[in-house]
Each structure stands twice: as structure tokens, then as C-alpha cells.
Amino acid sequence: MLKLFSSSTVSRAHHLTPAIRPGASSVESPLFKALSHLTGLNRRSTSLGGRRVFFCSDNASDSSSAIVPTNPRPEDCLTVLALPVAHRPLFPGFYMPIYVKDPKVLAALQESRRRQAPYAGAFLLKDDPSTDSSSSTEMEKNINELKGKDLLKRLHEVGTLAQISSIQGDQVILVGHRRLRITEMVSEEPLTVKVDHLKDKPFDMDDDVIKATSFEVISTLRDVLKTSSLWRDHVQTYTQHIGEFTYPRLADFGAAICGANRHQAQEVLEELDVHKRLRLTLELMKKEREISKIQETIAKAIEEKISGEQRRYLLNEQLKAIKKELGVETDDKSALSEKFKERIDPNKEKIPAHVLQVIEEELTKLQLLEASSSEFNVTRNYLDWLTILPWGNYSDENFDVVRAQQILDEDHYGLSDVKERILEFIAVGRLRGTSQGKIICLSGPPGVGKTSIGRSIARALNRKFFRFSVGGLADVAEIKGHRRTYVGAMPGKMVQCLKSVGTANPLVLIDEIDKLGRGHAGDPASALLELLDPEQNANFLDHYLDVTIDLSKVLFVCTANVIDMIPNPLLDRMEVISIAGYITDEKVHIARDYLEKTARGDCGIKPEQVEVSDAALLSLIENYCREAGVRNLQKQIEKIYRKIALKLVREGVVPEEPAVAVDAEEAEIVTKLDVESTENHVVEESPAPAAKEPKEETQNEKKAIEKVMIDEPNLADYVGKPVFHAEKIYEPTPVGVVMGLAWTSMGGSTLYIETTVVEEGEGKGCLNVTGQLGDVMKESAQIAHTVARKIMLEKEPENQFFANSKLHLHVPAGATPKDGPSAGCTMITSLLSLAMKKPVQKDLAMTGEVTLTGRILPIGGVKEKTIAARRSQVKTIIFPEANRRDFDELAENVKEGLDVHFVDDYKKIFDLAFVSDNKQQD
């Protein structure tokens, strides 16, 4: 730390003797006058009891300062102890306390004082190239560890002759006198060096450039002094104890007290050209002035912000007091209590007694709390939630079955099972006069309309609609709410739902219930049990409200892609309705009646401007949109109409006033897709909009309307190349290849199972399986191999094919993981086809798991697999006998044109798959 030598320091340093400068008041330099004016100094204020106090200056003969008498004189010190300075160089006229840890150096300094030669050399330490550390602790550690030549290499050559003012313990106070340069080392411990005394280069005091530079330094110093009282104290102390400012002293003073780094300060110390030294100091002080300005700006901004907030607070408090005195407005607590009472008074009879009691207790508590306390805000929010819930308020339901049938048919094509179940629910409600809450789970592939069905049910029943998704939900508090003791506590989704819809009997759609997460915050699936269980939800307890809520009138509709992912206790409380997907005919109807009209209206295209042929629509479905749902079909149709819109605009077919409405029929169309959204929202059901007259053709169109034809040949120009190709790869099916039927979360699909001979030889019979099969299918392959050998032994005892053949069974699409218990009979048929060298019947597909005894076990996904078979132009299907009932429940249009056989033993499959005359080869 670099400090000015103060009067207290002078009194402690017994070797510094004050001196009287006769006639000092008669001479005043321009620099001193300028600085005296800045700091308010005058000759009288700088005297101490009629005496001026000085200590050693750069030039002993200078009349502007006195030399502290010592023996020997400073200029006689040609050999000095070298003391390292870590942070900033010591400038002449300033003092610096340092700490000396080396006992030898400390003893040498004390000996110098006893010998009346109290001088040492203070030299700045160079940076250590071997370390990046610049902390004070590391610097001090480095100084204490350096000795002898190592220390000499780390010292700057130019330093300051320093008088040892005092030694107290390991603290040594040094007072800077004049500049030195190291010439050579005398001894290592302690480090003693020979030095040359440096003098400033001669300069002309009347030089205009030096004068201008010095007065610019003073001008800059003036700006800094306006904002920094510390600098003002430095100037006063310096002029009191050093004497008048000269050009060299002014440069040293500015460099010493500004915030320059150690290297910049050392550069000023080493500069002997007074003019250059002044310029360097001026640069440093300019930077200091800019820093002061920034500091002042920051302080002013913060002060204005704080004072503005305080002023606003005081004015608000005064305004409240004035309004209260005039009776214009009561205080916050009274106003809040009145607001809460106004909410509950109209429905006070409907609110349960235990809830009313809690509300009254919280209102009393609110009056006793200070408005500024945190507990006040917690209580206010709690009352806000308690009073805003629709206690006992139910919407009037519509139990008109005919109207409900019309709404469901209007919104959705097909889905007869789902519609029938909803109509049953409405019929029961009409007979009873009231409806009870139920839990319906709609399961099926994406895009089949699960979410939009929930919206249609709400419209048919005249119930409010609320949807929230639990996909990936891992926090129980999202369902059960947070405890009120937590910061930012909120009720659960169900309480938020009741607040949003304003009725106690909404239809709540819980989306993606098969994708529930599980994290450190508990198990949400278990928390949903209380919400969905009809025996428990009449007294549902939210952690935030801490009072029971009756949810027995709420109709819950859940959606899932795969019900196997739903925990069994949760699934047990639901009524599952499966939506398998749509066959091609159904997709054509949906595209014509719903998707195409919606897309055309959204794109602002009139019906007479475009025509999509049946062949193009059929090709779009079979070659681009083969999945079970219709979401991708909607995207492709929208893509077609967007390109048509661009084409029409480019051709100039644009009316002056763009159409903003569509015809009445299109206005009543609601999006029929399961458009998955992650935002909670409430739908207010309202009657269909009134029909509008078709807008007349304007006369200002730039060009006559030309109808755009979309047919199968030009379909690729709008939607690109076909994505899918025929699943039926083989025509006819070769030996060893059999088509199976599979179920996936995206719907049904067909897959081939292929078997070939790798190697033949006595005793080499074995089976290798590939196709990324799961454990279940690998076991099915082993069972199929065993059963096939058993059947072969019965049918052709002399055939040793399986005993002497190394076989390879493969299921194509190896990049797709496959697993499930329904491929056993297909694998057996493939093995037998290869063994007998007979292909299976043409256009045949089968599914079913086989036991070691040859019994056929039932499978799932009958509708999905049937749809997949139709899509692949399969004519004959083999199902397990136990699945006959599932097939009989399918719609007639799904079963149309199929020859279905139900078997309970593999021997029947053998007879169906291998015909003796091989007519399928014709």
C-alpha cells in the first residue's frame, strides 16, 4: 500500500526532524496556486504552528523543500539493502509499510538504523513467468521464498531510495526519497546491491509544451477532485508535508495516487524525461476520470431508483390514509374480506359446512395479520382459492340422445363402439335424472381422434371441457397440490380445473396417461388413484386446500396409446374403449367429409378452384399415409392446399378483399383429429354458428378462376415421392416364406418370416434366429423348431431335413425391435414350407402363438391385424379360435371380402397352408 507521509507518521519517525523554511510564504509557484485553489489551501492552512514540515525531496539543493538531516546524507548511500515491493512501486514523497519475514533482513535494517544510515532500496517485483497466480497471498509467499540471485533476477532495476522511518515488529515503514538503479550485487543474504542515483533529465521550466501538459494534468485532477474526496485529502496532505508542486512532483503525485496497475506505475517511475513522465501520468489520470464518471453514473442511477421507490411508497401510504379519512375506500384487509364474502354469499347454502368453517377462520385470521407480513399473503391466496371454487354449482346437462348422436356423427366418422358407449352413458343419465362421474379410457394409435372425441362428448353433454396432459409428469404435487408452507405453493391440476371451468361437473380429459413419469417427488400414478377411483374421489383431498372436494360428478376421459404401460391398479378403475384405427375406406370418407373441407377453408381456397380426384386421394392414403390414424393424412392434405394457394397467387387469382369466411357447412366443421397439445385450456361449448350466405364473386379479380386438378399422375408434384411401397413383397410367396400379422402402438402391420438352409450334413441340425427379436420371439422360434420337427416326423417320417440342416430364420426390418407372443404358428409354417419344399397358399396371413403340444393360444389386436391384412390385399386370414368373438364384433366393412379361419390346433393350419395341388402357383 502506497500512502502519503502524514503528520502522525512524522511524529512516530524520530529520525525525521521538522525544519523551518524561512521565507516560504513569499514564493508561490503557479502549480501550487492552482492546486491550492482546488483544495481550498493557503499558506496559513499549510503551516503547523507557524512552521512548514517537509521531508526528503529529489534534490537536496531545491529551495522548495527541506532535507531531513541524516548521517550519512541520502546521496552518500551507494550500497543499500534491496527490499522487494509486491504490489506497487514506492514513489518519492510517499511512504509505504511493508512486512519483512526474513529475520536476517530485519536485523540488517535495524542495524542500519543504529548506525545512523537508515536507508534501503525499494524495488518492484516482476511477474513470475512460471505461475498465473496474482493473488496477494501468493505474491507475499513468493517474496518470502526468494533469496540472493533469484531475488535479484525478479527485481526491476529502477527503484526508490527509501528512508527507514520505523520498525515495529515485522512491519517496516519506508519513506521514498529519490530514484535508484541497481548496478551490481554486493552480497546475497541479505541481498545488498550497488546503486546509481538517478536524476531527472534537464528541462526548460518555461517550455510551453510542458506547461500545457502540466496544466492539463491539473485540469484532469480538478475533474476527479469534484467527485473524489479521497483525492482531495491526498492533495492537502501532500502540500502540507512535501512542499510546493513542481513538474516532476506533479507527475509522481498523479501516478502514485491513481488506480493504475503496477506495470504502468513502474513505467512512470523509470521515466526520467519530465515531459514524457507528465504525459504518462496524464493518460493514467484520464482513465481515472472516466472511471469516476462511470462510478458517478451508477451511483446516481441507483440513488434515483431507490428514491423513486421510496417516494412512490410514501405517496401510496398518504393516498391510503386520505381515502380512509374521507371514507372513499377502506383499508386492504377490509376490502379483501368484503371481496371474499361477496363470492361466498350467493352460494352459501351450497358450500359444505366444513369448508365454510375454514373460510370463516381464515377471514378472522386475515384481520389479525399485518399486511406487510408473509403470512398475510399466504392467507390471502388461500382464501382466494377457497372462495373462487364452484362449490355445488353444476351445469345443466343435456340428455337428448338424438342430439348427442347427431353431434358425434357430425364430428367423427365411424367409431361406432365409442359412440355407442357415450350414448349408453347419456341414456342412463336421462333415466336416473342425474349422471355419475365415470372413468373412460380411450386407447389407440396416435391420430385416431382420442382427444377430439373427449371434446365432442363434452359438447354433446353440454359440459365444460378441461384438458391436461400427464405425459412425463413426475411430481405428485401437480395432481395433489403443494403444502401451503412451501414458497410458491399452488393447488393441483384438479383444483385449477374447477376454478377455470366454474362448474363442479366438467368433463376432464387426462391425456397420455400411459406416459406417466416417476421421479424423486413421488409416484404420480399412485396419486391418480384417489382422483379417479369412484369410491374415493367424492372426498378428494388437495394438499394446498386441505379440505375435501366432491369430484364424483366429474366425467373423466383418459387417453393412451398402449394400455400395457398403465399401472394395473390405475387401469382397474377405468373402462377401456379401444380405437384400432381406420381402414382405407374410412380414411377416404374422413378426408372427403372433414379434412379436405377444413384444409380448404384454412387456406382460403374456394371449392370451385380445386378438385382432388378419388384416385389421388386413394393413392395418398395407400402410398403416403398408411398409419392407423389420420393426423399425417391431414398434414399431407394441408400441404397440397398450401401449394395450390401458392400457385393461385402466382397466377394472379387474388380477390381485392381476401375471403375471411367459408360456407355454412364448413363453418360447422370442428377439427376431428387428436391434435396433442401441451397447454391446459377450457372450451366453452356454444351452438354452431349461424349459416352465412355464400360470398358473391367480386368483379375485381385480376384473372378468371381456373380449376386446379389433383390426380394420381400429378400427386407427386404436391407431396413428393411415395413414402410406402407395397407390404406384399412376394408374388407368389416362395418356399420358406410366410406372412404374419403384428400389432404395434402405431396400429397393425404385416411382416414376413423367412427361413433358408445354410448348410446340410448329417447331424448338423440347428436353428439361427435374426431380426432384432426380443426374448419372447426367440423362445417362440425355439418352440416352433421343436413343433415343426414333431409334425414333420408325423407327416413324413423318412424326411430327415431338420436333423441334418442348419437353418437360418429371419424377420425382415432388422432395425425395428420386435417382440410378442403371436408369431409361433407363422414360424412353424415357414420351417415346414422349407422342409417340404412347398410354398404356402397364395394371399395367406396368419397369427397366433403355439404351445409344444400344438395348441393355438389367443392373441390381441384382432381389429388392427385385420386392417393390416386388408391393406396388404390378403384374402385368407388364420386366427386362433378364442378370437372368434373379437372378430365377430368388427364392423362389416372391415370384414368384407376376407376368408377368415379360426383354429385351435396347428394341424388345421397345416391343412389350410399347404394345399396338395399348389393351385396358388397357377
Closest CA relative to residue 225, chosen from 38, 372, 93, 57: 38
Residue 187, all three cell numbers: 552480497
How crowded is the C-beta side of 56, counted as CA atoms within 13 Å? 27
Measured CA to CA, the distance from residue 312 to residue 411 in angstroms comes to: 56
Cα-based distances in Å from 662 to 452, 621, 647, 694, 823: 22, 26, 20, 8, 51
Residue 814 among known ligand-binding residues: no
Residue 445 among known ligand-binding residues: yes
827 neighbors 847 (Cβ within 8 angstroms):
no
Residue 447 among known ligand-binding residues: yes
Closest CA relative to residue 21, chosen from 74, 58, 67: 67
Closest CA relative to residue 841, chosen from 757, 727, 738: 738
Residue 451 among known ligand-binding residues: yes
Closest CA relative to residue 644, chosen from 614, 610, 684: 610
Residue 704 has phi, psi (to 5 degrees) of: -65, 145
31 neighbors 250 (Cβ within 8 angstroms):
yes
Residue 148 among known ligand-binding residues: no
Measured CA to CA, the distance from residue 318 to residue 713 in angstroms comes to: 80
Spell out the residues 6+ positions from residue 350 whose beta carbon is closer than 8 angstroms to its own: 391, 392, 393
| Long-range interactions of 185-188: CB distance < 8 A, separation 24+ | 185/149, 185/152, 186/79, 188/147, 188/148, 188/149
Residue 442 has phi, psi (to 5 degrees) of: -95, 115
Residue 50 among known ligand-binding residues: no
15 neighbors 55 (Cβ within 8 angstroms):
no
Residue 186, all three cell numbers: 554486493
CA end-to-end span of the chain = 107
Residue type, 244: E
195 neighbors 182 (Cβ within 8 angstroms):
yes
- Is 822 one of the annotated active-site residues of the chain? yes
Q: Determine how β-strand 610-612 pairs with β-strand 849-850.
A: unpaired
Residue 93 among known ligand-binding residues: no
**Dihedral angle at the C-alpha atoms of 724, 730, 735, 736, nearest 10 degrees?**
10
Closest CA relative to residue 245, chosen from 230, 255, 258, 235: 235
Residue 583 has phi, psi (to 5 degrees) of: -80, 175
Residue 594, all three cell numbers: 372433414
Peptide bond into 190 cis (omega under 30): yes
- Active-site residue (options: 443, 822, 830, 833): 822
Q: Determine how β-strand 158-168 pairs with β-strand 849-850.
A: unpaired
Alpha carbon of residue 378 to chain centroid: 29
Q: Determine how β-strand 171-187 pairs with β-strand 94-99.
A: antiparallel
- Is 842 one of the annotated active-site residues of the chain? no
Which H helix or E strand runs over 360?
Answer: helix 353-368
Residue 367, all three cell numbers: 384481520
Residue 10, all three cell numbers: 512524522
Spell out the residues 6+ positions from residue 799 whose beta carbon is closer than 8 angstroms to its own: 792, 835, 836
Residue 567 among known ligand-binding residues: no
Q: Buried b / exposed e across 779-809, counting CB within 10 Å, b at 16+?
A: ebbebbbebbbbbbeeeeeeebbbeebebbb
- Active-site residue (options: 419, 464, 493, 865): 865
Q: Buried b / exposed e across 281-318, counting CB within 10 Å, b at 16+?
A: bbbbbbebbeebeeeeeeeeeeeeeeeeeeeeeeeeee
Catalytic residues, which ones?
Answer: 822, 865
- Residues annotated within a binding site: 444-451
List, as residue ranges, the binding site for ATP. 444-451
